Chain A
């Protein structure tokens, strides 16, 4: 339905509008823009050479490497879980479905510290699975697997949350037609489901990746904080800051901030892609 601008509030009152715009923008500059500018200003406080020296420090390089490993594993799990979860929850109705949908939101609302704590209490040495893991020589807490699990915990809902409403909106007609015409389950999945979902999938992956690379609270609880061994970039920021290496800390932070900016740009582009598509569908329907 086309929307006309209301005569009441949208045309009148130039002065009031200007005041509101100014107040909103001042607030955004103070609260959003200045922190971002601070990151880059501090990172380059001792010039480009100081910045490059900080970035190429072996500890920093190993933190970047570790961050990439953690994010990559989390990504694979998130995509598999997201596709499986949304297929089960959007395409079928079964008892307990609502309970799973509610639990799915839990990682978004629970404190990252509580998430880390829960993992320590299950997988840690004193934890429920501790004795069994130790007997099999598996170390999860204070080691890489724990950091990966913590990252998966905090990013788990992203892909599924994006795909479920998308699948419900699209409906299952094409999938049902494929099955009736004799396609196998996997044929239907690769040729119909995945192409239909590709933008939503990309969007979910983008958001979960940004969070995975930047997660701090949950990962810090389960990591051993051994410099150069179990530091991701986000943890490295704190380690350097606590060691009064301010330039080094902000240099690593600037990399993470750049990732955040790239994510925001990509997100905006994808949203425009999405929006134009759904409005087109609305018009043709």
Chain B
């Protein structure tokens, strides 16, 4: 249990307001005013505009639009690649987090800092780098080209790019939980005769599962919306390797505002659902860490 949790809620708690007390701290009006003003101009109003434009299509129009092969294909590519990439990130992210927390090797701090590279590297930079790297004449692409495998300019490239952007989410979600784990349970399991695999699957894995799932969901959400790093490495062919964000851009360029708004709204709903799931998982992780 941390210090902050045991302290009574600062300022005006609900209880305080019910009893007619007010916080002695100033500035609620000003700070809340600025917050709501900025949020309105940047988030609320634009969201309303998009949802409103999507609504002009009506239910029939929406269903018709979403059932077109191109839209269906884009969702298949985006959902499929994002899920596979998030799964890859989850597996290797867990391994990397484990190695960073539980082992010592030269260059560990450097490796730890490197994990955040996909967060810090602009997506267009990642895009051209990955595309060049995995092109048939690139450093990595030329290794698999003799076997007839093409990565850049195919849907596999989309998967590679999404794995790149998703990896840090898993590592940074699992790492603190691994760090906080107390040694007692593992020691007890060891004393009671559990083997290494048993300790991992029965003691450690259940403890990190919520954080691993949260990391997976964050990587998936990021992958679903990713644009910059994908468009360079993908062939962007409708129905084959066209992702949903690119489809939205293409519709916008053809002045199909209602169609773009409809697909954008669907993406927004997906993000919100994922966001809620992630918040619930993170609450679970926090209660696990402090409780």
Q: Which of A4, A87, A264 contacts B117 (CB 8 A)?
A: A264
A276 within 8 A of B: no
Contact (Cβ within 8 A) B95 A117: no
* A31–B28 CA distance with the chains assembled, in angstroms: 46
What chain B residues lie within 8 Å of A105 (beta carbons)? 275, 279
Does B163 touch A at the CB level, under 8 Å?
A: yes
Q: CB < 8 Å: which of A21, A123, A171 contacts B7?
A: A171
Q: Which partner residue on chain B sits nearest A185 by CB separation? A: B26
Question: Which one of A7, A21, A152, A180 contacts B42 once the chains associate, using CB atoms below 8 Å?
Answer: A152
- In the assembled complex, which residues on chain B have CB atoms less than 8 Å from the CB atom of A188? 26
Q: In the docked arrangement, what's the CA distance between A88 and B247, Å?
A: 39
- With an 8 A cutoff between CB atoms, is B73 at the interface? no
Interface residue from A3, A250, A265 paired with B113 (Cβ < 8 Å): A265
CB distance A91 to B95 under 8 Å?
no
Q: Is A229 an interface residue when CB atoms closer than 8 A count as contact? A: no
Instruction: Tell me the complex Cα distance, A239–B88, Å.
Output: 31
Interface SS of chain B: helix
Provide the bound-state CA to CA distance between A145 and B154, in Å.
36
Q: Is the CB of B121 within 8 A of A260?
A: yes
- B137 interfacial by beta-carbon distance below 8 Å: no
- Give the bracket for the number of chain B residues in contact with chain A: 35 or more
Are B39 and A213 neighbours in the complex by a CB distance under 8 Å? no
Q: Interface residues, chain A, CB within 8 Å of chain B?
A: 3-10, 12-13, 16-17, 20-21, 23-25, 27-28, 30-36, 38-39, 42, 77, 80-81, 83-85, 87-89, 91-94, 100, 102-107, 109-115, 117-123, 126-128, 149, 152-153, 156, 168-169, 171-172, 175-176, 179-180, 185, 188-189, 210, 213-217, 220-221, 233-235, 237-238, 241, 246, 249-250, 253, 256-257, 260-261, 263-265, 267-268, 282, 285
Q: Identify the B interface with A (CB < 8 A).
A: 2-4, 7, 9-14, 17, 23-28, 30-36, 38-39, 41-50, 52-53, 92, 95-96, 98-99, 102-103, 105, 109, 111-130, 132-133, 138-140, 163-164, 167, 182-183, 186-187, 189-190, 194, 196, 199-200, 204, 221-222, 224-228, 232, 244-246, 248-249, 252, 257, 260-261, 264, 267-268, 271-272, 274-276, 278-279
